[in-house]
Amino acid sequence: MKKYIHSILMAAILPLVGFAQQTPLTQYVKPLIGTAKMGHTFPGATVPFGSVQLSPDTDTIPYAVNGQYTGDVYRYCAGYQYDDPTIVGFSHTHFSGTGHSDLGDILVMPTQGKLQLNPGTADHPENGYRSLYNHDNELAEPNYYRVKLDDHQIKAELTTTTRVGMHRYTYPASDASHLILDLTAGIYNYDGKNVWTVVRVLNDSTLTGYRQTNGWARTRTVYFAIKTSKPFRNYGAKYLDKDVQYRGFWRKFDQEDNFPELAAHNIRMHLDFDTDEGEQIMMKVALSPVSMSNALENMAAEAPHWDFDAVVNQGKKAWEDELSKFTVDMLNKEDLVNFYTSVYHANLMPTVYMDVNGEYKGLDHEVHKAEGFVNYTSFSLWDTFRAFHPWLNLVDPERNADMVSSMMAHYDQSVLQMLPIWSHYANENWCMSGYHSVSVVVDAILKGVYKGDAEAALAVCVQTAKARRYEGIGEYMDLGYVPDDVNGTSVSNTLEYAYDDWCIAQLAKKLGKDDIAAEFSKRAESWRNLFDPSIGFMRPKDSQGKFREEFDVLETHGQGFIEGNTWNYSLYVPHQPEELMEVLGGQSALETYLDSLFTMHLPDKFFANTEDITREGIIGNYVHGNEPAHHVAYLYNLTSSPWKTQERVRQIIRNQYHNGPAGLGGNDDCGQMSAWYLFTSLGFYPVAPGDNHYWLGSPLVKSAEIALQNGKTLKINAVNQSEKNMYVSRVRWNGEDIQGFKISHDDIIQGGELEFVMSSKPKTRR
């Protein structure tokens, strides 16, 4: 009974006291969050925006077998699923939170006992090199991952620098200890994905090579250099190629036994050692986009030694530097974990894509040198233009400027003369709709973040927006919408092009380019052409101007949309929300629409066949796990019930962000879900990047201090914050009441205090 009273007391007291952070802040980061179900994050070791993400892969289900899509591969976008019983190995490249995938390069697995060069299956790990493991023996921290591999009785530890993965394996006594190097392994693999592989064994502890693949990236090459801390006494390889015809080489050398010049489509290697009980063998794997010699140079520059703990600590220090930009006080420790893990997840991608000497492979398949910027790759722009890049504009503008420079370089290297759509590793994969690099470029220029040639940037955006052959742009330019008969996602494209065009118009206005401003302001209205007043929703229309007859407003697939049905997508006019409200029927019509969206019942069938939509990832028919509606909760600000924005964002945070492995309700999408959380937990959100204003919501923090890159400090103070007091009764900026529901970036970036007075009672109109 006494204990019970204590709990009650704690519960009563703590919310008032709050949970302020303690150093090190890395203690609040749980890389395992999002590794179960659809978060698609990876638990392994990496440094902020590191080129290497050294992480366990729990399965290698192929994307396709004999040309047939296998379906289950979607689980393995990040290589790891928390519920899986086995670990296949540790590979060096991973996307964080994507919904399609690639990578998983240079898979390493320590084994001992019988040499096995095939991975085996999850059901029968003993038939391959993979191993059972137990989460009790697993630890995932920023830049440190540890697990015990039960089948081999080997402790595995991983850490990284930006371009080097360092492995430390503790073996039992064995005269048959191995390091398996599976160069056929990869994420979203299929027969023929490995285009070519080279390995050169330079001496008894050094290898270099490369893996060239044809996957989501059509033409991708990862060069590597490997060193082991102990010389291997023997090594060998297995060639898995079916179609190598010229075998003359084999008469000269046995190419599978201690042959140092390996080259084939598919190679698996083994390095063999004798080990004493508890002996540690370390391995360093450096990557390069350019060459093996650059990989060696990267290793020499970043990890010349074998001090594993020093590498761990150096990376943890880098993380602490990122995390400590934020001093926050929150309602409970779980919130601190969610907050700092969101900071972590918003510091993973895009990744650095250049060598220590500045060289990188360009989209044009040429080697370039990044002059005056850090080159980044893996731009999931359809996701990240919404909140992630705006977040960087606020808290890490120099990095975002480099990302814009990277996109401009991509344009320069593009024979299509387009900014990136979804680009990774010197390739464009053209995934998703819109041309949202335009939004990122414009927002960064208008916020003073990108300091390059603005007129050149405008020209590049215009050129991208006029790529007539791309996804219905030509018809969009001619007709004012993408016709349903031309493109399968015609409505998504039209709405997103219209928003992007509005961004271009904003930059053109700023630069005094009146003709461009006029042209793109007109294009920005294109959303109107697909609104069907007879049903009150956006609807696909054919080239003849006829709306599609059979149309399901709840279905996502095959209805002219991508990752969102028309209930969600019809609200996607972030640049002209008031005009949209008018079209929808005015303030109260919008409120009714939003109320319905958040509360309606979605029939079961829509969960079965839709990627990313789970019972957990959805509130009514509002899908937080997909991005098109990320701004929607903020739209209540336009109605007479802004308190519903406050209520909904608190609800979304409480519903969609948890501490466990299944803590993310959908793909983190390269930090977009986390950036949404971060903005929202601070009380504001960039509804339309390219506009200078954030829309106000309801903060989750009790207080926060953000060290801005210009030396100023942004303070958030939520007076009377509590779980119940989710409503905002008053907002002041530097002591003055804010009229309306917006605050400008220009104000915020000068530093100051944003004070929210919290209340348990909704306020109809502030």
Compute CA distances 394 → 312, 347, 404, whole Å.
29, 14, 15
| Segment interacting with a copy of itself (CB under 8 A) among 275-283, 370-378, 466-474, 728-736 | 466-474
291 scored as a contact of a copy of itself (CB under 8 A): yes
1, 5, 248, 604: residue in contact with a copy of itself (rule CB under 8 A):
248
Under rule CB under 8 A, residue 365 binds a copy of itself: yes
Minimum distance from CB of 435 to a copy of itself (Å)?
Answer: 11
Distance separating alpha carbons of residues 683 and 719, to the nearest angstrom: 12
- Pick the closer one to a copy of itself by CB: 212 or 543: 212
- Integer Cα distance of 499 and 688 in angstroms: 8
- Which of 6, 124, 135, 218 touches a copy of itself by CB under 8 A? 218
Q: Between 417 and 592, name the residue whose CB sits nearer to a copy of itself.
A: 417
Q: Is 191 a residue that touches a copy of itself (CB under 8 A)?
A: yes
Among 240, 356, 367, 719, binds a copy of itself (CB under 8 A): 367
Q: Among residues 219 and 722, whose Cβ is nearest to a copy of itself?
A: 219
Minimum gap (Å) between residue 293 Cβ and a copy of itself: 5
Which listed residue (245, 544, 739, 764) binds a copy of itself by CB under 8 A?
Answer: 245
263 scored as a contact of a copy of itself (CB under 8 A): yes
Options 469, 601, 615, 765; binder of a copy of itself; rule CB under 8 A: 469
Please give the C-alpha separations between residue 433 and each of 128, 182, 419, 573, 616, in angstroms, as whole numbers: 41, 35, 13, 15, 25
**Site residues (CB under 8 A) for a copy of itself, limited to 87-116:** 100
Task: Give the integer Cα–Cα distance in Å for 734 and 750.
Answer: 11
Q: Does 428 bind a copy of itself (CB under 8 A)?
A: yes
Q: Which of 27, 153, 214, 659 binds a copy of itself (CB under 8 A)?
A: 214
- Tokens representing 745 are 């970036």
The number of helices, as runs of H, and strands, as runs of E, in the chain is: 19, 40
**Residue pointed to by tokens 């925006």:** 49
Instruction: Tell me the C-alpha distance between 18 and 399, whole Å.
Output: 32
Work out which of 170, 219, 720, 729 binds a copy of itself, going by CB under 8 A.
219
Establish how many alpha carbons lie within 13 A of residue 389's alpha carbon, considering only the half-sphere containing its beta carbon: 31
Does 258 bind a copy of itself (CB under 8 A)? Our answer is yes
Q: CA–CA separation, 564 vs 39, rounded Å?
A: 18
Q: How far apart are the C-alpha atoms of 388 and 670, rounded to whole Å?
A: 8
Residues belonging to the chain: 766
Run of H or E including 675: helix 672-682
Burial 343-381 (b: 16+ CB within 10 A, else e): bbbbbbbbbbbbbbeebbbbbeeeebebeebbbbbbbbb
> Token match 């996701």: residue?
383
Cβ closest to a copy of itself, residue 226 vs residue 635 = 226
Of 291-299, 346-354, 687-695, 741-749, which part binds a copy of itself (CB under 8 A)? 291-299
d(CA 194, CA 561): 33
Nearer to a copy of itself, 250 or 607 (CB): 250
Among positions 1, 23, 136, 243, the unique one binding a copy of itself when judged by CB under 8 A? 243
Q: Give 213 or 681: the residue with its C-beta nearer to a copy of itself.
A: 213
Asked, as a colleague might, if the bond just before 603 is cis with ω within 30 of 0, I would say no
Kindly report whether the peptide bond that precedes residue 24 is cis, defined as omega within 30 degrees of 0.
Answer: yes
Of 1, 5, 13, 415, the one binding a copy of itself by CB under 8 A: 415
Q: Which stretch binds a copy of itself (CB under 8 A): 74-82, 206-214, 590-598, 608-616?
A: 206-214
Tell me the C-alpha distance between 758 and 305, whole Å.
Answer: 53
Where would I find the beta strands (DSSP E) of 301-378?
326-330, 351-352, 359-361, 367-369, 376-377
> Which part of the chain contacts a copy of itself (CB under 8 A), choosing from 117-125, 306-314, 468-476, 606-614?
468-476
For residues 613 and 528, give the distance between their C-alpha atoms in angstroms, rounded to a whole number. 28
Nearest CB to a copy of itself, comparing residues 225 and 706: 225
CA distance 597 to 410: 39
d(CA 13, CA 20) in angstroms, rounded, equals 14
Q: Does 235 bind a copy of itself (CB under 8 A)?
A: no
Nearer Cβ to a copy of itself, position 611 or 753?
A: 611
Q: Which of 464-472, 544-552, 612-620, 688-696 is the region at the interface with a copy of itself (rule: CB under 8 A)?
A: 464-472
* Cα 436 to Cα 426: distance, rounded to the nearest angstrom: 18
How crowded is residue 761: how many other Cβ atoms within 10 Å of its Cβ?
A: 9
Closer by beta carbon to a copy of itself, 215 or else 574:
215
Q: Which of 43, 65, 180, 40 lies closest to 119 in space, CA to CA?
A: 180
| Window of 190-198, 335-343, 638-646, 679-687 that interacts with a copy of itself by CB under 8 A | 190-198
Comparing CB distances to a copy of itself, the nearer of 487 and 566 is 487
Residue 322 contacts a copy of itself per CB under 8 A: no
Q: Does 371 bind a copy of itself (CB under 8 A)?
A: no
Is the Cβ of residue 221 or residue 384 nearer to a copy of itself in the bound state?
Answer: 221
Residues that bind a copy of itself (CB under 8 A): 63-64, 67, 100, 188, 190-193, 195-196, 198, 200-202, 210, 212, 214-216, 218-219, 242-246, 248-249, 251-254, 258-261, 263-265, 291-293, 364-367, 415-416, 421, 428-431, 469-471, 488
